[in-house]
Chains A and B, each alone.
Chain A
Amino acid sequence: MNRSKSQIPIREYVTKKLIAVGADASIREAARRMVQFDISSVVIGNNDSVVGFLTDADLKSRVVAAGLDASRPVSDIMTTDLITADIDAAVEEVMELMARHRIKHVLVTEQDEIIGIMTLRDLVNIERQKLETFIARE
């Protein structure tokens, strides 16, 4: 069966590692972690559980433009109403979710626990390289 890429579950494209700062970290510490790993978003966590989320765009609008002091706790500005997709959701469902909420990052859950992230760029990359090389037809 030839299945289009949009019908594939996202599981194999999800980044199953989340870079985080603690909930007691400052906004500046969160920004520094994003710089440290050259990433466009960061998770805010307590031990292994995720309590919030912050993106480049949030830093721009909620901190710089709003003139907020970067030494304040990141919990003041993080998004707590998290938009998530199940790890077995299809690519097209996640695309639709991003479009509906106008977001470029979706946190991914497995058995209701947040374990990964999928970005718009990851979705674009699915088109970039096939999963497998045509080594032989057989």
Chain B
Amino acid sequence: MRILHFSDTHVGSERYFEEKRLLEVIDTINTGKFDLAIHTGDITDEGQRDEYERAKAFIDAITTPLIVLPGNHDGRSGGLALFEQYIGPSDGYRLVGDALVVFASSIIADSNAGRIGRVRFDLLKDAIYDHASMSIKIFCTHHHILPVPSSGRERNVLENAGDILDLIVNSDVDLVLMGHRHFPNVHRMERTVFINAGTASSSKTRYGDVQSHNEITIDRRRRRVSTIRSDGRRDDVDVPKRSRTVFTSFGARVLRIVHMANSFISESRLFLETRFQNALESIRELEADVVVHCGGVVAEGTQADYERAVELLGEIDPPLVVSPSGRDMNYLGYELFARSFGSVDPSYETDRVYLQGVASFQYDSTTGVVGRTGRARVFEQLRDVEQEFTGIFLHHNLVPVPHSRNKALLEDAGDFLRELVDSKVDIALTGTSSHPHAAQVGSTVISNAGSVSSIYQRSAYGNSFNLVDVYEKAIAVSEISSMWGSRRLLGMWERRSQR
């Protein structure tokens, strides 16, 4: 099956719309033997009637089966009603050959933000459940679900991207097609390929890029995404369909990490001391090589909380490295953290392992950022590392986490994630949103720890920390219940990229 994926045409923008580019793409669609063309939103610029009339004339010239879904620009000025009048339904699904193509509007009228609320989420689930046996599943929406590089600050990822991501990945959706950021990008998370299209015909590109569209080939065995730019450049990405599911051979254990976050140590009711003490007991039994605490050590950055934290965390035997959160740094936390735990960018190093902390907090803010210069420094450092296993750890999320409103992503998560994956860093440990999660993006495992002992946690399994076991041939991430010490596997992956 061949799909042409284009997006963000912005028909009607006097300054930015380039009609010639759109006509070229339409010609490619009509002559390129595609089974389906998908436009992932912002077909118009301001959602005005005259723009929809023009847009309709363009799409009427397309002779291939076509799906168009709305973008935030199409929803401006009450444009969604016009979208349905001129273009078609904004949500639904289509069966094309042996593929199910589900499309959902992520539009919040007159807002640039995106959301797939409960009613649409149910429609999406039903479409997937009703067609469970289709051999190819494709989901399309306008807003990006995984952060996109070269797109500035991460403000408009879907508000509930974590839940959508969970549904998509667990349902083994093959392809997710998105637009919005005017920058093409391809990531693989578990079995799913996440594809962003650039803009097909707007001169409003990012970072000096040109217009582009994607050509996708998918069958039972392979998935190829080719990004074709208007200057003729072409990038091909091949993504294997299956990953290993039966793990027979692990080899020797190289590293055991206790990965924890959000202890909220204090004298306040926010801190659940029994859970913390029980977790310490489990940590002792687990005989880890290193304990990585990804922020939220104390409830507040006060003298009393830090004194208690030093006392309790002092009971941990393996080396402890801490990457702070905004909460740890607040009030006098900035001074107290340095005195209690040392550098805000600590590292852990052995002959075989190198883990680098990356402070992502901002003072008196919950928003995280690393920034261009900071990022360049981190990845430069990691490039020079000779150890066979590398990792980074920080407080803020790099990918959306289920059961949370998506506000804890690193502001520059798009660029950070791209560099992380391209640098083939083996693992990234994060610690916010208070829900445990682990998934592999490219060859990088991303583990998010829940809350070890704070009352603020979102998992029905209760407070927990993660256990990361790195073997010669595999990596396993499990969640350990703080209270009971019981273990639940979050994910396991083959180790391929040994240096």
In residues 1-36 of chain A, which contact B (Cβ within 8 Å)?
1-3, 7-9, 11-13, 15-22
A116–B458 alpha-carbon span in the complex (Å) = 26
Given A116-B245, A128-B460, A132-B167: A38 in contact with B126 (beta carbons within 8 A): no
B81 is an interface residue with CB less than 8 A from chain A: no
Q: Are the CB atoms of A17 and B491 closer together than 8 Å?
A: yes
Shortest C-beta distance, B438 to chain A (Å), equals 11
Q: Are the CB atoms of B118 and A37 closer together than 8 Å?
A: no
Given A12-B171, A13-B170, A135-B160: A43 in contact with B246 (beta carbons within 8 A): yes
B122 is an interface residue with CB less than 8 A from chain A: yes
Shortest C-beta distance, A6 to chain B (Å), equals 12
**Max chain B C-beta neighbours (<10 A), residue from A37, A38, A47, A136:** A136
B373 is an interface residue with CB less than 8 A from chain A: no
Chain A residue nearest to B191 (CB atoms) is A16
B277 is an interface residue with CB less than 8 A from chain A: no
A38 contacts which of B115, B159, B486 (Cβ < 8 Å)? B486
Q: How many residues of B contact A (CB 8 A)?
A: 42
A12–B172 alpha-carbon span in the complex (Å) = 8
Chain B residues within an 8 Å CB radius of A22: 248-249
A81 is an interface residue with CB less than 8 A from chain B: no
Chain B residues within an 8 Å CB radius of A135: 115, 117-118, 159-160, 163, 405
A129–B133 alpha-carbon span in the complex (Å) = 25
A10–B288 alpha-carbon span in the complex (Å) = 34
Q: Are the CB atoms of A37 and B248 closer together than 8 Å?
A: no
A119–B443 alpha-carbon span in the complex (Å) = 28
B126 contacts which of A3, A43, A46, A132 (Cβ < 8 Å)? A3
Q: Are the CB atoms of A17 and B117 closer together than 8 Å?
A: no
A18–B246 alpha-carbon span in the complex (Å) = 5
B489 is an interface residue with CB less than 8 A from chain A: yes
Q: Are the CB atoms of B118 and A136 closer together than 8 Å?
A: yes
Chain A residue nearest to B248 (CB atoms) is A20
In residues 114-138 of chain A, which contact B (Cβ within 8 Å)?
114-116, 125, 128-129, 131-138
B460 contacts which of A20, A46, A129 (Cβ < 8 Å)? A129
A50 is an interface residue with CB less than 8 A from chain B: yes
Given A20-B247, A129-B403: A15 in contact with B163 (beta carbons within 8 A): no
Given A37-B476, A129-B403, A131-B163: A88 in contact with B133 (beta carbons within 8 A): yes
* Contact pattern, B 118-136, Cβ under 8 Å of A = 1, otherwise 0: 1111100110010011000
Shortest C-beta distance, A22 to chain B (Å), equals 5
Chain B residues within an 8 Å CB radius of A7: 129
B125 contacts which of A39, A129, A131 (Cβ < 8 Å)? A131
A73 is an interface residue with CB less than 8 A from chain B: no
* Contact pattern, B 467-486, Cβ under 8 Å of A = 1, otherwise 0: 00000000010100000001
Chain B residues within an 8 Å CB radius of A15: 489
B160 contacts which of A114, A116, A125, A132 (Cβ < 8 Å)? A132
B404 is an interface residue with CB less than 8 A from chain A: yes
Chain A residues within an 8 Å CB radius of B120: 138
A48 is an interface residue with CB less than 8 A from chain B: yes
Chain B residues within an 8 Å CB radius of A115: 245-246
* Contact pattern, B 359-377, Cβ under 8 Å of A = 1, otherwise 0: 0000000000000000000
B129 contacts which of A9, A20, A125 (Cβ < 8 Å)? A9
Question: Which interface class (under 10, 10 to 19, 20 to 34, 35 or more) fits A?
Answer: 35 or more
Shortest C-beta distance, A44 to chain B (Å), equals 9
Q: Are the CB atoms of B246 and A48 closer together than 8 Å?
A: yes
Chain B residues within an 8 Å CB radius of A13: 170
B216 is an interface residue with CB less than 8 A from chain A: no
Q: Are the CB atoms of B248 and A45 closer together than 8 Å?
A: yes
A7–B246 alpha-carbon span in the complex (Å) = 28
A14–B120 alpha-carbon span in the complex (Å) = 24
Q: Are the CB atoms of A129 and B245 closer together than 8 Å?
A: no
A135–B243 alpha-carbon span in the complex (Å) = 32
Q: Are the CB atoms of B108 and A138 closer together than 8 Å?
A: yes
A1–B123 alpha-carbon span in the complex (Å) = 8
Q: Are the CB atoms of A136 and B170 closer together than 8 Å?
A: no
Q: Are the CB atoms of A45 and B170 closer together than 8 Å?
A: no
A136 contacts which of B115, B460, B478, B491 (Cβ < 8 Å)? B115
A74–B258 alpha-carbon span in the complex (Å) = 32
In residues 219-266 of chain B, which contact A (Cβ within 8 Å)?
244-249
Q: Are the CB atoms of A37 and B129 closer together than 8 Å?
A: no
Q: Are the CB atoms of B245 and A18 closer together than 8 Å?
A: yes
Chain A residues within an 8 Å CB radius of B172: 11
Chain A residues within an 8 Å CB radius of B159: 135-136
Shortest C-beta distance, B277 to chain A (Å), equals 21
A57–B117 alpha-carbon span in the complex (Å) = 44
B298 is an interface residue with CB less than 8 A from chain A: no
Q: Are the CB atoms of A18 and B160 closer together than 8 Å?
A: no
B461 contacts which of A12, A17, A88, A128 (Cβ < 8 Å)? A128
Shortest C-beta distance, B482 to chain A (Å), equals 15
Q: Are the CB atoms of A19 and B247 closer together than 8 Å?
A: yes
B153 is an interface residue with CB less than 8 A from chain A: no
Q: Are the CB atoms of A12 and B170 closer together than 8 Å?
A: yes
Q: Are the CB atoms of B163 and A88 closer together than 8 Å?
A: no
Chain A residues within an 8 Å CB radius of B487: 37-38
Shortest C-beta distance, B55 to chain A (Å), equals 24
A138–B133 alpha-carbon span in the complex (Å) = 29
Q: List 18 A-B contacts (CB under 8 A).
A: A3-B125, A12-B171, A13-B170, A17-B491, A19-B247, A20-B246, A20-B247, A37-B478, A47-B248, A50-B246, A88-B133, A114-B246, A115-B245, A131-B167, A135-B115, A135-B159, A136-B115, A138-B115
Which residue numbers of A lie inside 8 Å of B, CB to CB? 1-3, 7-9, 11-13, 15-22, 37-39, 43, 45-50, 88, 114-116, 125, 128-129, 131-138
- 9 more A-B contacts (CB under 8 A) besides A20-B247, A132-B403? A3-B126, A12-B167, A17-B247, A18-B245, A37-B487, A45-B246, A135-B160, A136-B159, A138-B115
